[in-house]
Structure 1
Amino acid sequence: MTGPPAPAQRGKPAAPARRPGLAAACDRLARSRPFEIGIVVVILANGVVLGLETYPDLVAAGAALHGLELFFRAVFVVEIAIRLVAYGRRPQDFFQHGWNVFDFAVITAIFIPGLHGDPALLRVVRVARMVRLVRFSPGLRTIVSALWRSLPGVGGFLALAVVTLYVYGMAGWLIFGSTYPEQYGDIGRSLLTLFVLLSLETLPDLIEQGMAISPWTLLYYVSYVVITVNLLLNILIAVIVNSMEEARRLEMTERLAPGYDEDGDGVPDEVDRIALTQRLDDLRAVIAELERELRIDRDDGHGRAHRQDATARR
């Protein structure tokens, strides 16, 4: 699945100039806020039903839960059909966007005949529907986009982390292997011990064991904590935060793109901004005219008052 599509393409048709009547109606429906809210409610309800199915005491309600599952399937199929029809004579454009492909795969996978023979795999596919909530939340889309963009940086971080853990694992095997074989008996045990140590929960016990061998072992654990737990994890956080900022900037840039219609009123937001700017200019002109008239009236009032004072003095 590719990264989140551009805002004008987030699972919504690109609104061509002319559409058949049915396609135009489906397009307006797919872009409407009530439609999205309804789908979100159904997805959440589907998650609740999946959770209820895990309770063995609700076996008696199995028929009702199965009926709800069939209802959810029908709603999701209708949703995908509406989004497909909204593309008019070019339904293939629906599959040009990653989120649309993901939605289509998750909804249609439930109808694969061989899937029903494996209840565990079938449940995984049904649980995957909950991921569809991401497409309806701009904040979640930004996070997913940031994680997607951070993969190259995370890959480099993982390579560095593996090398660091391997070096410290070999050093731990050489230092503690004969004394504490359960933690450092081989490279696998050493890596597992050091991986658990990333949480710092076992650090006091390991330091106590090391001090029983030599005070110099404290240098081993202190350097490991500083390099891996602090330095490497902070690098990972920095990579993700940087990707988050890039995704947010991209989101803001795409919102300024021509044709983007966030409010779903059929008028691109660029046109809305132009109309709003014109109205503000008109309002400024009216205010300037009122200020000019008030200033004239005030000046006239001061002039009359000055003349009346002069007359009274005479």
Structure 2
Amino acid sequence: MKESLKRIVESARFNTFITVLILINALLVGLETYPEIAENYGSWLLALDIIILAFFALEILAKLFVYRAKFFGNAWNNFDFIIVVGSLILYNSPFISVLRIFRVLRVLRTVSTIPSLRRVVTALFMAIPTITSVILLMSIIFYVYAVIGTFFYADIEPEYFGDLGLSLISLFQIFTLESWASGIFRPVFAAEPWSWLYFISFIVISTFLMINLIVGEIVNNAQKISDEIDKEAAELEGIKEDTSEIEDLRKEVGELKSMIQTLVDRK
């Protein structure tokens, strides 16, 4: 029974079924944000939500039965377990807001069921040390440019560079490239023509170079994961080929035995 259940749990059809349920759950949560739909079809939405949660609970129970303690050795399994158990515990509790958070978080289970998404998230987590270093460097750059901006442009645009805090907020707006030219740059540029050096250099360093460093690190980690998967696949293929050769040798040995036995019988 355990082996049969393991084949079901690890099958592509089962994973596809769970993924479809997660997407339906996401659709139901989205529909509940419309007051008219929630008022007219609230009971139906609630019933469907309970059914989907029951399937999720059965999935977790099946995996616990198959993998036992090994189930908790996988971070994605732990994530799924917390989401499902949290939803079950809080379903009839007064903490409606927390329950809604858990219901929305169920949508994130698509990450654990789709391998390509898992690789992307894993690559993102692998890049955290590098991202932390890049953020620290960006913080230093922000601070230096904020001090410079406050010294030079506080009298020209006190709304944006009146003190260090305002300068940091203005630089963050420039960093996001949100209305930075018309809102911040042009009034300063009109009073101080050389200010373009300040703004352009900040954008090139912070927005283009720093973001490319982060993206490049994530891409490199994703490539490493893909290479490891290809290597494992190649090793499995090699094992299959070795197994096939062994089977051929067994057949040949069997044929030789048959031939020898036939010769012995004739004598």
Report what 1:252 is aligned to: 230
Partner of 2:23: 44
Partner of 1:297: none
User: How does 1:251-290 map onto structure 2 within 5 Å?
Assistant: 251-256=229-234, 271-274=239-242
Query: Which of 72, 96, 101 is matched with 1:119 structurally?
Result: 96
Change (3 A) 1:139 1:113: closer
> 2:170 pairs with 179, 193, 196, which one?
193
Report the CA distance shift for 1:157/1:115 in structure 2 as closer, same or farther (over 3 A).
Answer: farther
CA contact (8 A) 2:156 2:188 kept: no
Higher helix share: 2
Alignment partner of 1:29 out of 1, 5, 8: 8
> What's the counterpart of residue 163 of structure 1?
140
Amino acid in structure 1 at the alignment position of 2:167: S
Deviations 1:248-296 (A, max 9, x none): 12222343466xxxxxxxxxx665444567899xxxxxxxxxxxxxxxx
CA RMSD in angstroms, aligned pairs only: 2.3
- Alignment equivalent of 1:71, drawn from 39, 51, 56: 51
**How many residue pairs get matched?**
247
Correspondences of 1:1-314 after superposition (within 5 Å): 22-58=1-37, 59-87=39-67, 91-113=68-90, 116-205=93-182, 206-256=184-234, 271-274=239-242
Name the structure, 1 or 2, with higher relative contact order (CA <8 Å, separation 6+): 1
1:119 to partner: Cα distance: 2.2
Contact 2:157–2:188 (Cα < 8 Å) also in 1: no
Q: Which residue of 2 aligns with 1:14?
A: none
Give the drift of 1:183.
1.0
Deviation at 1:57, TM superposition (A): 0.5
Q: Select between 115-124 and 67-76 the one with higher mean Cα deviation.
A: 115-124
Structure 1 gaps of 5+ residues are: 1-21, 259-268, 281-314
Q: Which moved more, 1:269-278 or 1:23-32?
A: 269-278
Write the letter of the residue equivalent to 1:28: R
Between the aligned partners of 2:204 and 2:11, the Cα distance in structure 1 is 52
Superposed CA deviations along residues 30-60 of structure 1, whole A, max 9, x for unmatched, are: 1112211111111111111111111100112
> CA distance change for structure 1 residues 114 and 73 in 2, over 3 Å: closer, same or farther?
closer
TM value normalised by structure 2: 0.84
1:112-143, Cα deviation, whole Å (9 max, x unpaired): 34983232221111111111112222211111
Letter in 2 for 1:52: L
Does the residue aligned with 2:93 lie in a helix, a strand or coil?
Answer: helix
| CA deviations over 1:133-176 (Å, ceiling 9, x no partner) | 12222211111111011111101010001110111111111112
Residues 210 and 112 from structure 1, CA distance in 2 versus in 1: closer, same or farther, beyond 3 angstroms? same
Over 3 Å counting, the alpha-carbon distance change for 1:132 and 1:270 in structure 2 is: farther
Return the alpha-carbon distance in structure 2 between the equivalents of residues 176 and 118 of structure 1.
50
Give the partner amino acid of 2:41.
A
What SS is found at the alignment partner of 2:109? helix
CA contact (8 A) 2:173 2:180 kept: no
Unaligned runs of 5+ in 2: 249-267
The equivalent residue for 1:284 is none
- What percent identity do the matched residue pairs reach? 30
| Letter paired with 1:33 | A
Kept in 1, the 8 Å contact 2:22–2:106? The answer is yes
